[in-house]
C-alpha cells in the first residue's frame, strides 16, 4: 500500500511535465474561478480537449489543478470587487469585501487563501483515508443497489437544483434519454438513429457536455449587447500584497471553525450533486451561529472568511471520495472528471482503487499538490486576473466558441461531434432561458448508460423485481431518494406545520430500517441511534405541536 | 411571453417529442435474447417524460387560465432579446457548413472575425483589432492542436488546392 502511494507520488511529483501541466491547470482554474460568468465546471470542461493526448495521470492532474484553482479563484473577485467569481465563493464576499473596504485587502486575501489551503488539506487526508474504505463498502453492492444509488443521485440533484422540481425531473429524464440514443450496450441494437450512421454511434459525452454547459453559458453571457461590449468588470482593483504570516496565524487560531467548516464541506461534497455553492453558505451560517461576536459578521469578521473558503475547497475532496469510490459524481465538476476518465477508457467504481491503484493514488496526490500550486500562483494570477478583466465578454466568448469547436473535433476527428455540440448548445441555452436546471440533465447523460446497464444486469440475474425493495442497500438508496424528493417541500413548509416538524425525525426512523436489515453490528448501532433520535424528536415535536 | 405561456408550449412540445420517440421505439429490433430488451429502458424513460410533461402542462394551464382573466395580451416573442444568441447560431451554422471548404484555420478565423464584428460593431479601428484577435487566437490554437497535440484538423479544400 505504502509503496503504491510512493510510486504514485513519484509519477506526479517527480515528473516535470506533469508538474508543469498542473501549474498551468491551476493558473487557468484560478482565472476561470475569478472571472464572473465563468464557472469551475466550464474551466474543467474546456481543459478536457487538451488532455486527450496526455497520459491519464497527466490529464487528471491537469484537471485537478483547474478544479482546485477554480475553487480558490472565486475569492479574488469576490473580495476585491464584491462580485463573486463562482457560486462557491458567494459567502466569502459577505465578510471579505467589507474587510477589503476597511483597508485590509492583504489580510482578507491571505485569510481566504490559507483557509482554502487548510480546508483542502483536511479534505485530502479524509479522501485518502475514506475513499478506499467506501470503495470496500461499494463491493457489497449488486446491480439492484447500484441502480437505486443512481436514482438517488438523480433525485437529490433535482431537489437541490432549483425551485421547480418538475422542470428538474424533466431535465434529468432528457439527460437519460440522450444517453439512450445510439447502439445499446447490451444487445448492440441501434436506437433512435433515424437511419443516420453518425447517430447510430450515439452522442459522445464531451460534445454534449461542452454544448450544454459551456456553449449555452457563453451565449447567455453575450445576450445583453451593452454588457457584452463593456469590460468584464466595471470595478477594478489594484494589485495587493498578501499578508501570509498574519493570515496563517489567524486561521490556525480559529481551528475549531476551520475543522467544522471543512467537515461541512466534505459532507456536502459526498452528497451527490451538492457542491461548493451550498457548502460555503452552510459553513458561513454555522460559523455565525457558533460565534461569540455575531454582530461582526457582515462587517469583515475573520471567521466569516475562514468558514466559506475552507468549506468550498473541502467540498472538492468530498466529491472526489464519491467519484473515486463508487463512480458516482458528487457535482458537475466531478461528472466531467468521470467523463475524462471514460475518455481514457477507465471506469471508476468500487474496484477502481484496487484495479488502478497508481492512477487512484496519483489523483489523490495531485489533489494535495494542486493546493500548493494554488498558494504559490495566487499572486501571479491576481495580476493576470486584473489584466483579463479589462477584456470585453464578446471577445472572450467569440474566441472560446471557436476553441470549443476545435476541442470537440479533436475527440474523434469528425465534424458530426461539432454539430452535436452545437445542437446541445442550443438546447442548453433555451433550457436556461426557460428555467430548466442543467445539472440534472448532465448527470442524466453521465449516469444514463450506467443505470441501464445495472437494471439490465439486475433483471438478467433474477426476475424477482422485489429485490429492489428487499436488498438493504437498494432499499436504503430508494428511501433516500424519497427523502430527497420531499426535501424541497420541507424547505418551503412553514416552520409551525406538522410536515416541517416530522420530516427530519420520520426520515431518520425510516432510514434506520434498511440499516437494521444489513445485520453488521456497527450499522445496527447506527440504525438504533437513528431510530431513537427520530423517536425522541417526534415525541418532543408532536407534544409541542399539540400544545400550540 | 409569460412563464406560464412558455411552459404550456414547452409541455406540449415535450409531449409531441415523447410521442414521436415512443413511436420510434417500436422500430428497435428485438434480437430475441432473454433479459431486458433494447427498447425497455428508453420506453420507461419516455413514459416518465410523458407523465412529467403532463404534470407541467396541467400546472401551467391552470395557472395560465387564472392569469388570463387579468392579462389579455397577445402572444409575442421578443426576438431582440435573443438577437446576439441568434447571431451566434447563424455564424456557427455558417462555420460548420463551410468547414469542408475553408478548413479549421481559415474557417475559424472567419468565424471569430465575423462574430466579433457582429457582436462588437464595425469601424476601421475595431476591424483591425478584431482581425488581429481572430488571426492570433485561432492561429495559436491551430498550432497547439496540430503540432502540440498532433490532431489532424480539417485542412479545407482552399488550402489543399494551394
Mean pLDDT of A23-39: 83
Nearest to B36 among A229, A425, A459 (CB): A459
pLDDT at B68 over 70: no
Mean pLDDT of A169-190: 90
Q: What is the pLDDT of residues A400-429, one digit of tens each?
A: 899 889 988 887 888 999 999 999 999 999
Question: How is residue A224 written as a grid cell?
Answer: 445583453
Closest chain A residue by Cα to residue B126: A395
- Interchain contact A460–B (C-beta under 8 A): yes
Question: How is residue A448 written as a grid cell?
Answer: 444514463
Q: Where does the pLDDT of residue B19 fall: very low under 50, low under 70, confident under 90, or very high at 90 and above?
A: very high
pLDDT at residue A213, as a whole number? 82
Q: Which residues contact A39 (CB under 8 A, 6 or more apart)?
A: A32, A70, A86, A87, A217
- Interchain contact B80–A (C-beta under 8 A): no
- Interchain contact A456–B (C-beta under 8 A): yes
What gap in Å lies between CA A260 and CA A311, rounded to an integer?
9
What gap in Å lies between CA B127 and CA A226, rounded to an integer?
19
Nearest to A223 among B85, B121, B150 (CB): B85
Greater confidence (A179 vs A93) lies with A179
- Interchain contact B137–A (C-beta under 8 A): yes
- Interchain contact B28–A (C-beta under 8 A): yes
- Residue located via cell numbers 445496527: A524
Greater confidence (A144 vs A217) lies with A144
B49–A406 C-beta distance less than 8 A:
no
A166–B41 C-beta distance less than 8 A:
no
Enumerate residues 80 to 99 of chain A having a beta carbon within 8 A of any beta carbon in chain B: none
Question: How is residue B5 written as a grid cell?
Answer: 405561456
Chain B closest-CA separation from residue A243 CA (Å):
37
What gap in Å lies between CA A249 and CA A368, rounded to an integer?
21
Domain chopping of chain B, boundaries = 3-77, 83-161
Q: Is A392 helix (H, G, I), strand (E, B) or coil?
A: strand
The sign of the torsion formed by the CA atoms of B15, B17, B23, B26 equals negative
Strand ranges (DSSP E) for A355-432? none
What gap in Å lies between CA B143 and CA B145, rounded to an integer?
6
Least confident of A106-110, A227-231, B67-71: B67-71
Q: Where does the pLDDT of residue B23 fall: very low under 50, low under 70, confident under 90, or very high at 90 and above?
A: very high
pLDDT at residue A185, as a whole number? 80
Burial of A508 (0-12, 13-18, 19+ CB in 10 A): buried
Nearest to A410 among B21, B29, B145 (CB): B145
A53–B36 C-beta distance less than 8 A:
no
pLDDT at B69 over 60: no
What gap in Å lies between CA A346 and CA A339, rounded to an integer?
9
Closest chain B residue by Cα to residue A183: B38
Chain B closest-CA separation from residue A437 CA (Å):
14
Greater confidence (A127 vs B111) lies with B111
What gap in Å lies between CA A168 and CA B127, rounded to an integer?
43
B7–A434 C-beta distance less than 8 A:
yes
What gap in Å lies between CA A196 and CA B22, rounded to an integer?
18
What gap in Å lies between CA A134 and CA A369, rounded to an integer?
23
Mean pLDDT of B132-160: 87
Question: How is residue A305 written as a grid cell?
Answer: 472568511
What gap in Å lies between CA A434 and CA A224, rounded to an integer?
17
A397–B151 C-beta distance less than 8 A:
no
B145–A406 C-beta distance less than 8 A:
yes
pLDDT at B57 over 90: yes
Contact between residue A4 and residue A43 where contact means Cβ atoms under 8 Å apart = no
**Chain B residues whose beta carbon lies within 8 Å of the beta carbon of residue A169:** 48, 52
Write down the number of H helices and E strands in chain A: 26, 0
pLDDT at residue B1, as a whole number? 47
Amino acid at each position: 500500500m505504502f509503496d503504491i502511494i510512493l510510486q504514485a507520488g513519484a509519477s506526479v511529483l517527480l515528473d516535470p511535465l506533469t508538474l508543469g501541466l498542473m501549474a498551468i491547470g491551476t493558473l487557468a482554474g484560478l482565472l476561470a474561478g475569478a472571472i464572473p460568468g465563468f464557472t469551475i465546471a466550464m474551466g474543467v470542461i474546456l481543459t478536457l480537449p487538451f488532455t486527450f493526448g496526455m497520459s491519464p495521470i497527466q490529464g487528471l492532474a491537469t484537471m485537478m489543478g483547474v478544479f482546485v484553482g477554480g475553487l480558490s479563484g472565486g475569492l479574488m473577485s469576490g473580495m476585491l470587487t464584491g462580485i463573486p467569481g463562482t457560486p462557491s465563493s458567494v459567502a466569502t464576499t459577505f465578510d471579505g469585501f467589507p474587510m477589503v473596504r476597511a483597508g485590509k485587502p492583504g489580510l482578507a486575501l491571505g485569510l481566504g487563501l490559507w483557509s482554502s489551503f487548510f480546508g483542502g488539506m483536511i479534505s485530502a487526508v479524509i479522501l485518502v483515508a475514506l475513499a478506499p474504505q467506501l470503495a470496500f463498502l461499494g463491493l457489497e453492492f449488486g446491480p439492484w443497489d447500484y441502480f437505486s444509488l443512481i436514482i438517488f443521485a438523480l433525485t437529490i440533484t433535482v431537489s437541490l437544483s432549483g425551485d421547480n422540481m418538475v422542470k428538474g425531473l424533466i431535465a434529468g429524464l432528457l439527460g437519460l434519454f440522450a444517453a439512450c440514443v445510439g447502439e445499446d450496450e447490451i444487445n448492440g441494437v441501434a436506437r433512435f438513429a433515424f437511419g443516420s450512421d453518425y447517430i447510430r454511434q450515439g452522442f459522445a459525452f464531451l460534445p454534449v457536455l461542452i454544448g450544454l454547459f459551456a456553449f449555452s453559458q457563453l451565449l447567455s453571457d453575450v445576450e445583453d449587447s451593452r454588457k457584452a461590449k463593456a469590460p468584464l468588470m466595471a470595478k477594478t482593483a489594484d494589485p495587493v500584497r498578501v499578508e501570509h504570516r498574519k493570515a496563517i496565524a489567524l486561521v490556525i487560531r480559529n481551528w475549531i471553525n476551520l475543522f467544522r467548516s471543512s467537515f461541512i464541506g466534505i459532507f456536502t461534497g459526498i452528497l451527490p450533486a451538492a457542491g461548493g455553492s451550498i457548502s460555503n453558505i452552510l459553513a458561513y451560517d454555522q460559523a455565525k451561529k457558533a460565534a461569540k461576536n455575531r454582530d461582526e459578521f457582515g462587517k469583515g469578521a475573520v471567521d466569516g472568511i475562514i468558514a466559506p473558503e475552507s468549506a468550498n475547497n473541502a467540498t472538492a475532496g468530498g466529491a472526489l471520495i464519491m467519484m473515486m469510490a463508487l463512480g458516482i459524481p458528487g457535482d458537475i465538476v466531478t461528472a466531467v472528471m468521470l467523463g475524462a476518465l471514460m475518455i481514457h477508457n477507465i471506469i471508476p467504481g468500487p474496484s477502481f482503487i484496487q484495479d488502478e491503484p497508481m492512477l487512484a493514488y496519483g489523483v489523490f496526490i495531485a489533489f494535495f499538490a494542486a493546493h500548493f500550486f494554488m498558494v504559490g500562483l495566487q499572486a501571479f494570477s491576481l495580476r493576470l486576473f486584473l489584466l483579463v478583466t479589462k477584456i470585453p465578454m464578446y471577445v472572450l466568448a467569440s474566441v472560446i466558441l471557436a476553441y470549443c469547436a476545435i476541442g470537440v473535433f479533436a475527440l474523434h476527428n469528425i465534424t458530426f461531434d461539432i454539430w452535436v455540440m452545437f445542437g446541445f448548445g442550443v438546447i442548453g441555452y433555451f433550457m436556461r432561458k426557460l428555467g430548466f436546471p442543467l445539472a440534472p440533465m448532465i448527470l442524466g447523460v453521465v449516469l444514463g448508460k450506467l443505470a441501464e446497464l445495472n437494471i439490465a444486469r439486475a433483471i438478467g440475474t433474477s426476475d424477482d423485481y422485489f429485490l429492489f425493495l428487499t436488498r438493504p442497500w437498494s432499499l436504503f438508496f430508494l428511501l433516500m431518494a424519497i427523502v430527497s424528493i420531499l426535501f424541497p417541500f420541507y424547505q418551503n413548509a412553514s416552520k409551525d406545520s406538522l410536515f416541517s416538524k416530522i420530516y427530519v425525525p420520520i426520515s431518520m426512523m425510516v432510514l434506520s430500517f434498511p440499516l437494521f436489515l444489513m445485520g453488521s453490528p456497527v450499522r445496527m448501532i447506527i440504525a438504533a441511534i437513528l431510530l431513537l433520535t427520530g423517536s425522541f424528536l417526534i415525541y418532543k415535536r408532536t407534544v409541542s405541536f399539540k400544545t400550540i | 411571453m409569460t412563464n406560464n405561456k412558455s411552459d404550456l408550449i414547452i409541455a406540449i412540445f415535450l409531449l409531441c417529442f415523447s410521442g414521436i420517440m415512443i413511436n420510434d421505439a417500436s422500430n428497435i429490433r428485438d434480437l430475441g435474447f432473454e433479459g431486458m430488451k433494447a427498447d425497455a429502458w428508453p420506453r420507461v424513460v419516455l413514459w416518465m417524460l410523458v407523465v412529467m410533461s403532463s404534470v407541467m402542462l396541467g400546472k401551467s394551464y391552470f395557472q395560465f387560465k387564472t392569469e388570463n382573466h387579468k392579462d389579455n395580451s397577445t402572444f409575442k416573442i421578443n426576438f431582440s432579446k435573443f438577437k446576439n444568441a441568434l447571431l451566434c447560431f447563424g455564424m456557427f451554422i455558417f462555420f460548420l457548413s463551410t468547414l469542408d471548404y475553408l478548413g479549421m484555420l481559415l474557417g475559424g478565423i472567419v468565424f471569430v472575425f465575423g462574430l466579433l464584428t457582429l457582436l462588437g460593431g464595425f469601424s476601421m479601428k475595431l476591424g483591425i483589432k478584431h482581425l488581429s484577435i481572430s488571426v492570433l487566437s485561432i492561429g495559436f490554437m491551430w498550432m497547439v492542436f496540430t503540432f502540440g497535440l498532433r490532431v489532424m484538423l480539417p485542412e479545407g479544400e482552399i488550402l489543399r488546392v494551394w
